[in-house]
């Protein structure tokens, strides 16, 4: 078990300044390793996030028969082909990563062997039924703990049955799991989503040579169609900076007076940049410069300058494009002028922690005026927050980083019970923030 790392964060003495590059996109990193393992040939992955979550995925793909090595900052994967993975000799431990566990469920569902997945205490508390139910319809069999929780045994099938499935809730993880299973099915696998979710899986399928059809639905959702069995051919991948990680230095720079920073080469996929759009609506000095395309994904440099923010009303339809950024957005709203309403946050209740309840607790402990109405979070902004609170992170890396941002802008020091789990998504977070002048001491 990882030792706890408590942290006390005091108000930044001077404005944050400098140019930084955040770690590679976590969502794309997981997918790059899985697709490379399923491809024929050798893939080179550059800029892979080397956090604990992604390293668990790398280890899982090794256990399933792919050759995965790291050399001079590049990850090299010799794949097995879509139907070439082998039965693992031991339990697959996915650590803290719900993305890895759910996507890998799709891979395992249409391979003809038995496997077992588990994870840390946080992941074992999260529901897996949202993927096991549709994947069962494709021929796989799942056995879980009560409440459809890990550990989970997967009895995969060879050639699975194609599925036409409409997602009850917009979820890129569930969509991706079904599409990954569909690679090894005879016929068309179709997923309809009620609202567009991050499309890294579709982009990567195309990058590895598989045709994917995406249609806009009249009611604002999308229909994704994949014809199987499919063949993936190895392609090199360059992973952009993670917009979910960039969120923390960006919001910190907006809130700490006198700050001016640049975050380089951040992914600008429109289905991932809801936070940046929202911050601009709040009046943030946030510019995206030098946009370019790398490995099928748009990237750009974020130029950020501190300034007063105003309240915002965020529609529920924006949730899929910024699902991981709501805690740090809530921190920004707590310092904004006016009352903000963040709508439709039911999905936050089933993240690494009950993120909605934990975000409320984080803000209330430090003097913010906040409450929940149904699935909406309402925050009454103040010019300054007293701080001085003790934050329980519940092993949630994004809560820990959001509390850090709040501490840099609050009047009194903020005490965080544990920051060890930050390494799952943002290795080097403290060093990066200190390089901008944050003065954090773990």
pLDDT at residue number 295: 67
Q: Which residues of 393-412 are buried (b: 16+ CB within 10 A; e: fewer)?
A: bbbbbbbbbbbbbbbbbbee
Residues 184, 185, 187, 192, CA torsion sign = negative
pLDDT at residue number 263: 98
- Distance, in Å, from the CA atom of 98 to the CA atom of 93, rounded to the nearest integer, reads 11
Supply the DSSP string of 212-279, one letter for each residue. Answer: EEEEE-TTS-EEEEEEES---B---EEPPBPHHHHHHHHHHHHHSTT-EEEEEEEE--TTT-HHHHHH
- Distance, in Å, from the CA atom of 439 to the CA atom of 14, rounded to the nearest integer, reads 10
Q: Which residues contact 93 (CB under 8 A, 6 or more apart)?
A: 56, 59, 117, 118, 119
Q: Which residues contact 1 (CB under 8 A, 6 or more apart)?
A: none
Q: Which residues of the chain have pLDDT under 70?
A: 1-2, 295, 352-353
Q: How many other CB atoms are there within 10 angstroms of residue 287's CB atom?
A: 13
- Distance, in Å, from the CA atom of 117 to the CA atom of 100, rounded to the nearest integer, reads 10
Concerning whether 324 is annotated as a catalytic residue, the answer is yes
Q: What number of CA atoms fall less than 13 Å from residue 171's CA on the CB side?
A: 25
3-class DSSP state for residue 389? coil
Q: 160 near 109, Cβ under 8 Å? A: yes
- Distance, in Å, from the CA atom of 305 to the CA atom of 285, rounded to the nearest integer, reads 5
Q: How many other CB atoms are there within 10 angstroms of residue 341's CB atom?
A: 15
CA distances from 441 to 122, 325, 345, 368 (A): 26, 24, 33, 25
- Distance, in Å, from the CA atom of 404 to the CA atom of 427, rounded to the nearest integer, reads 15
Pairing of β 390-391 and β 414-416? parallel
Q: Is the previous residue joined to 53 through a cis bond, with omega within 30 degrees of 0?
A: no
Pairing of β 297-305 and β 260-267? antiparallel
Residues 117, 122, 125, 128, CA torsion sign = negative
Q: 99 near 26, Cβ under 8 Å? A: yes
If you count them, how many residues does the chain have?
442
Phi and psi based region of residue 131 (left: phi greater than 0; alpha: psi -120 to 50; beta: remaining): alpha
Q: Of the residues 93, 324, 396, 418, which is catalytic?
A: 324
pTM: 0.86
Q: What number of CA atoms fall less than 13 Å from residue 395's CA on the CB side?
A: 17
Q: Which residues of 206-222 are buried (b: 16+ CB within 10 A; e: fewer)?
A: ebbebebeeeeeeeebb
Q: How many other CB atoms are there within 10 angstroms of residue 138's CB atom?
A: 23
Q: Which residues define the annotated binding site for phosphoenolpyruvate?
A: 26, 98, 126, 173, 355, 398
pLDDT at residue number 2: 62
Q: 189 near 229, Cβ under 8 Å? A: no
pLDDT at residue number 252: 98
pLDDT at residue number 352: 66
Q: What is the pLDDT of residues 274-314, one digit of tens each?
A: 999 999 999 999 999 999 987 678 999 999 999 999 999 99
Q: Which residues define the annotated binding site for 3-phosphoshikimate?
A: 26-27, 31, 171, 173, 324, 351
- Distance, in Å, from the CA atom of 405 to the CA atom of 147, rounded to the nearest integer, reads 35
């Amino acid at each position: 078990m990882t030792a706890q790392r408590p942290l006390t964060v005091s108000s930044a003495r001077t404005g944050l300044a400098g140019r930084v590059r955040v770690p590679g996109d976590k969502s794309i990193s997981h997918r790059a390793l899985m697709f490379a393992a399923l491809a024929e040939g050798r893939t080179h992955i550059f800029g892979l996030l080397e956090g604990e979550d992604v390293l668990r995925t790398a280890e899982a793909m090794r256990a399933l028969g792919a050759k995965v090595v790291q050399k001079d900052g590049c990850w090299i994967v010799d794949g097995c082909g879509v139907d070439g993975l082998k039965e693992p000799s031991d339990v697959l431990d996915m650590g803290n990563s719900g993305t890895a566990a759910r996507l890998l469920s799709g891979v395992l569902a249409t391979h003809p062997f038995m496997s077992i997945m588990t994870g840390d205490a946080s992941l074992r508390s999260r529901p897996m039924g949202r993927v096991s139910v549709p994947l069962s319809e494709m021929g796989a069999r799942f056995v879980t703990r009560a409440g459809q929780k890990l550990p989970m045994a997967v009895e995969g099938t060879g050639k699975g049955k194609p599925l036409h499935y409409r997602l009850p809730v917009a979820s890129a993880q569930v969509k991706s799991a079904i599409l990954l299973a569909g690679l090894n099915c005879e016929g068309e696998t179709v997923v309809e989503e009620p609202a567009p979710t991050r499309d890294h899986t579709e982009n990567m399928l195309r990058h590895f040579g598989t045709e994917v059809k995406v249609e806009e639905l009249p009611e604002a959702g999308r229909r994704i169609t994949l014809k199987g069995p499919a063949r993936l051919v190895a392609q090199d991948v360059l992973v952009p900076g993670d917009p979910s990680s960039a969120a923390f230095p960006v919001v910190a720079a907006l809130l700490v007076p006198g700050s001016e920073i640049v975050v380089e080469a951040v992914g600008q996929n429109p289905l991932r940049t809801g936070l940046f759009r929202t911050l601009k609506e709040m009046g943030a000095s946030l510019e995206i410069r030098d946009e370019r395309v790398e490995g099928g994904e748009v990237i750009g440099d974020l130029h950020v300058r501190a300034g007063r923010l105003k309240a915002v009303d965020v529609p529920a339809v924006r949730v899929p494009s910024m699902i991981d950024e709501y805690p740090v957005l809530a921190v920004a709203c707590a310092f904004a002028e006016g009352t903000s309403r963040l709508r439709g946050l039911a999905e936050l209740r089933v993240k690494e922690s009950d993120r909605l309840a934990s975000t409320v607790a984080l803000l209330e402990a430090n003097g913010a005026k906040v409450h929940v109405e149904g699935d909406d979070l309402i925050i009454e902004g103040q010019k300054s927050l007293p701080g001085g609170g003790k934050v329980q992170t519940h092993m949630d890396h994004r809560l820990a980083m959001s509390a850090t941002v709040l501490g840099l802008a609050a009047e009194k020091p903020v005490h965080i019970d544990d920051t060890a789990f930050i390494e799952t998504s943002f290795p080097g977070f403290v060093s990066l923030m200190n390089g901008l002048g944050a003065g954090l001491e773990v």
